[in-house]
Structure 1
């Protein structure tokens, strides 16, 4: 007996002031949904979609802020929910930008709108919980970790607020996750900003995660796309790793920081029974597909996320050439990646 489910992921949701000012509809209210309109069908097409919530959604009561210490309006959460996002990673270098209050506001709001968050916890008790989603008889668990928080420490006695990269803890968490789920998905925030190739540290951490038994690794922090690669764990297991999903929505204006991607994977669960009637299952992660995306805007206004393959030369000089270069870049270690180019039904 076999079951299949699809999981997709996008990179950084990083709201610089130009982005949330563009979303303003007056009276301190915000609407980001128009920015996601062109990519919403692709996000909704998967059974589960994961995003990296890079700028904390502490809400306007704390005062909205941009680089270097971010705080975003709750309404970006509404737009992600409306676009089909099911899980957000909160563990990144900006998690503690606005302190414990922003984390509590954010976790409360994610709970309120029904989006699972990982990498952060409001209480010590919650920090011990492995969060899961079951789709099509396949249970996925989700974990999140960051290399650091820009030198800002959690309040004394509250280290549970954010998860850091710690091999012993990651190994223990993955082992606990494997006991209650079929597929372990790890979000990890690391690497060098704006570098398009992953470094030795990223490679080393990815190999450890494969050795510990993670099935899928979604990585971020560089703000540009870095290639995907299969890793073979010490037990012969195959782990899919994409080293950076880049920016999905941000106010950064360099070419490669405006290019992100929607990654989609198929997961197949095969169930068999032995002579004693005991159930055995195997998991296969397969058919990696990528939809490169482009953040279009003019003069810091009219932000919109577009499929890169549909972008014209009027919107981006040499658009097709850039698209082909991105495809080659992302296929370096995984030539079997296919690229999504279907037009949504209107």
Structure 2
């Protein structure tokens, strides 16, 4: 379950937040120093797929409640250069965010968040740059799927977001200077009779197929990979109404 997932991630050297093993752990913010820039992370979800939180363990999970998020932003903002929100929100299998999500994104940005990384819809949704308080703020409403067992190219596609920030050491101000996204695809295949899954960077996979370095995808899959790449570019950049 959730506890084992946290253990596996931490054993792999990955940090976790938004789900906690103890009340003490839930009170500590996740802050990482990345090349001299302090980045704070806050994570929340709309719910738990109908599974109740055990009695006495209310600390276990961060629910996406507006007032809670705003209070956490207010507390964490003075401690970091960059504040990132990771939000499990939105409508499953919808290509676009809701009006409420866009309003929340702007509100969270106005109160001090810099980046919002969304998930839950299982398909990609657009990336939007908002100009708030003289700064560029980035939200991607859904990054798609990075692992799973679903049908359809759109449900097996996603992106890895790359963000670059520049800090003015004289003023202490930090700004988003550039961003990029890496299109990905969940590839289901069989190896030695066993069903397996792996996450492919689409551009790398295309190059590997073309040069004969891809052991599990033949040249007949090139049109599929190129279509995935095209679809991802469209979904990420499609205009919002």
Is 1:212 aligned to 2:111, yes or no? Answer: yes
- Which one has the bigger helix percentage? 2
Deviations 1:102-161 (A, max 9, x none): 43x444554455422111121222211111110211011111000111222212232210
Is 1:153 aligned to 2:62, yes or no? Answer: no
Q: How does 1:233-248 map to 2 (within 5 A)?
A: 233=132, 235-248=133-146
Deviations 1:251-305 (A, max 9, x none): 1121101111111011111121xxxxxxx31111132211111122247824232
Q: How does 1:1-346 map to 2 (within 5 A)?
A: 58=1, 102-103=2-3, 105-233=4-132, 235-272=133-170, 280-298=171-189, 301-309=195-203, 310-311=205-206, 314-315=220-221, 317-333=223-239
Bigger relative contact order, structure 1 or 2, given CA contacts below 8 A and separation 6+?
1
Q: The residue matched to 1:174 in structure 2 has which SS?
A: helix
Q: The residue matched to 1:325 in structure 2 has which SS?
A: helix
* TM-score, normalisation: structure 1: 0.60
1:162 positional shift: 0.3
Runs of 4+ more than 6 Å apart: none
* TM-score, normalisation: structure 2: 0.84
Following the alignment from structure 1 to structure 2, what is the Cα–Cα distance between the partners of residues 316 and 198?
31
1:308 positional shift: 2.0
Q: The residue matched to 2:142 in structure 1 has which SS?
A: strand
Contact 1:142 1:186 in 2 (8 A): yes
Contact 2:153 2:228 in 1 (8 A): no
Following the alignment from structure 2 to structure 1, what is the Cα–Cα distance between the partners of residues 227 and 11?
43
Please report the RMSD computed on the Cα atoms of aligned residues, expressed in angstroms: 2.3
Runs of 5+ consecutive residues of structure 1 not aligned to the other structure: 1-57, 59-101, 273-279, 335-346
Deviations 1:139-188 (A, max 9, x none): 11111000111222212232210001111111111122112111111100
Deviations 1:8-44 (A, max 9, x none): xxxxxxxxxxxxxxxxxxxxxxxxxxxxxxxxxxxxx
Following the alignment from structure 1 to structure 2, what is the Cα–Cα distance between the partners of residues 288 and 332?
17
Contact 1:213 1:237 in 2 (8 A): no
Following the alignment from structure 1 to structure 2, what is the Cα–Cα distance between the partners of residues 316 and 247?
21
Q: Which residue of 2 aligns with 1:11?
A: none
Q: Aligned residues, how many?
A: 225
Distance 1:168 1:106, change over 3 A: same
